[in-house]
Amino acid sequence: MQEDKLTLSESELILRRAFANGLQISEESVNDALQYASTPGWDSVAHMALIASLDSTFDIMLDTDDVLELSSYPKAREILRKYGVRF
Amino acid sequence: MKLLQDRVGSITGASRGIGRATALEAARQGARLILIARSREGLEETAHQVENEGGVRPQIIVCDVADESSLKTAFREMHGYTKQLDFLVNNAGILRDAVIGMISTKQILEVLHTNLISLIQIMQFAARIMMGAKSGSIVNIASIIGRSGNEGQVVYGASKAGVIGATKSAARELAPHGIRVNAVAPGVIATSMIANIPESKKEELLGSIKMNRLGQPEEVAKIICVLASDYSSYVTGQILGVDGGMWL
């Protein structure tokens, strides 16, 4: 898996970019405080775009249970670890 | 230019009937295909026919769409083949006729799972792949029975009415992402699914079809391909009857 080749900081940067692309926000505004339904713009429609962005960025296919549990930026990190992404 | 030139599409229930006819027509129209069904033998035969007609040999994935873990594995496999999915034809379905007093819970769950729940799950997976490209077309196979109902088809009718509701709702949700969702509602089509209908019932059915004949799978397949293609680029949330005037 390509993530094995990444350094920890690279993974974090890639995740930040995937969030920015998925939620249509600037990379600077991506941080650990981002939360589903609380962060402006992160609604159910944007959530689907975010999942698509994570799928394609990390070349994975998140399980539906993980899609539903992915409720914050730190949670995304936690879930992606299950798919072999190292932070 | 062919209708689906260089498009990548997936068709469920592609081992026979409308699914196989759609695979053949889509391949004629230039599509590259990923075919899904329970029967490896049936899929191999469809793939063989596609190749015989000069199409690109399709990828085949053996999967029971009613089995969620099998479905997840199938989509992971598909994701491994390609990151491009331009169209999906959600065709897998089963028919288990029984009058209302004779329907077991097992039968109800079996039909709803295959015809409706898995269809929604497949839309979920497909939409995620399509969102990356901000475009795509999903074509669900409903049925005239989902609109009009029919004796002995309470569960099947409910499942297909569910398909119509799911199609319209998904169309609303996915339109902002550039993904169109439509359904075709076939009438009585000459496939193995109607093989067990008694002759007297068939006669009765024919009498209710304005064009006075059964439809052919190829006639449904052509409409599916139009909905899958850019020829319907401004069409979403529609349920298109392919029924010879049975439902007017």
d(CA B135, CA B177): 7
Handedness of CA A24, A26, A32, A34 (dihedral sign): negative
User: What's the confidence (pLDDT) of residue B97?
Assistant: 86
DSSP B184-202: EEE-SB-SGGGTTS-HHHH
pLDDT at A1: 47
Residues of chain B with Cβ-Cβ distance to A53 below 8 Å are 132
Residues of B catalogued as catalytic: 156
**Is there a contact between B128 and A52 if contact means CB atoms under 8 Å apart?**
yes
Structure tokens at B214: 């059964």
Q: In terms of Cα–Cα distance, which of B42, B49, B56 is closest to B24?
A: B49
Q: What is the pLDDT of residues A23-76, one digit of tens each?
A: 999 999 999 999 999 999 899 888 999 999 999 899 899 998 999 999 999 999
Is the distance from CB of B161 to CB of B147 less than 8 angstroms? yes
Please say whether the beta carbons of A22 and A87 come within 8 A.
Answer: no
Element (H, E) at B136: strand B136-141
Residues in chain B whose Cβ is within 8 Å of chain A: 72, 75-76, 79, 83, 121, 124-125, 127-129, 131-132, 173, 176-177
Secondary structure of residue B82 in the 3-state scheme = coil
pLDDT at residue B80, as a whole number: 86
DSSP secondary structure, B107-142, as one string? HHHHHHIIIIIHHHHHHHHHHHHHHHHT-EEEEEE-
Whose tokens are 């497949």? That residue is: B122
Strands B179-186 and B239-242, by their bridges, are: parallel
Domain ranges of chain B: 8-241
Q: What class, spelled out in words, does domain A2-24+31-82 have in CATH?
A: mainly alpha
**Poorest-pLDDT segment among A6-10, A77-81, B79-83:** A6-10
User: Across chain B, which distance is largest between two alpha carbons, in Å?
Assistant: 53
Indicate whether B25 pLDDT > 80.
yes
Is the pLDDT assigned to residue A2 strictly greater than 70?
A: no
Residues of B in contact with A49 (CB under 8 A): 131, 177
Residue B36, pLDDT > 80, answer yes
Quick check: A4 pLDDT over 70? Answer: no
d(CA B123, CA B179) in angstroms, rounded, equals 11
Q: Which residues of A touch B125 (CB under 8 A)?
A: 61
pLDDT for B102-129, tens place per residue? Answer: 999 999 999 999 999 999 999 999 999 9
Chain mean position to CA B238? 14
Quick check: A52 and B72 CB within 8 A?
Answer: no
Mean pLDDT of B5-17: 97
The separation between CA A41 and the C-alpha centre of its own chain, rounded to angstroms, equals: 15
pLDDT in tens, B209-222: 999 999 999 999 99
| Residues composing chain B | 248
As given in the structure block, the two tokens for residue B119 are 């269809």
Cβ atoms < 10 Å from Cβ of B130: 25
The model's pLDDT over B152-207, given as tens digits with 9 standing for 90+, comes to: 999 999 999 999 999 999 999 999 999 999 999 999 999 987 887 788 888 888 99
Domain chopping of chain A, boundaries: 2-24+31-82
Q: pLDDT of B47-74, one tens digit each?
A: 999 999 989 999 999 999 999 999 999 9
Do the chains contact at A64 and B76, CB–CB below 8 Å?
Answer: no
Q: Give the residue, A86 or A74, on which the prediction is more confident.
A: A74
Q: How many CB atoms lie within 10 A of CB B210?
A: 12
Name the strand (E) or helix (H) holding B248: none
Report the distance separating Cα A55 and Cα A51, nearest Å.
6
> Are B23 and B33 in contact, with CB atoms under 8 Å apart?
yes
ipTM: 0.76
CA B130 to chain centre: 18
- What CATH number belongs to B8-241? 3.40.50.720
DSSP per residue, A46-82: HHHHHHHHHHHHHT----HHHHHH--BHHHHHHHHHH
- Segment B9-31 shows an average pLDDT of 97
Q: Please give the residue that has the higher pLDDT: either B67 or A87.
A: B67
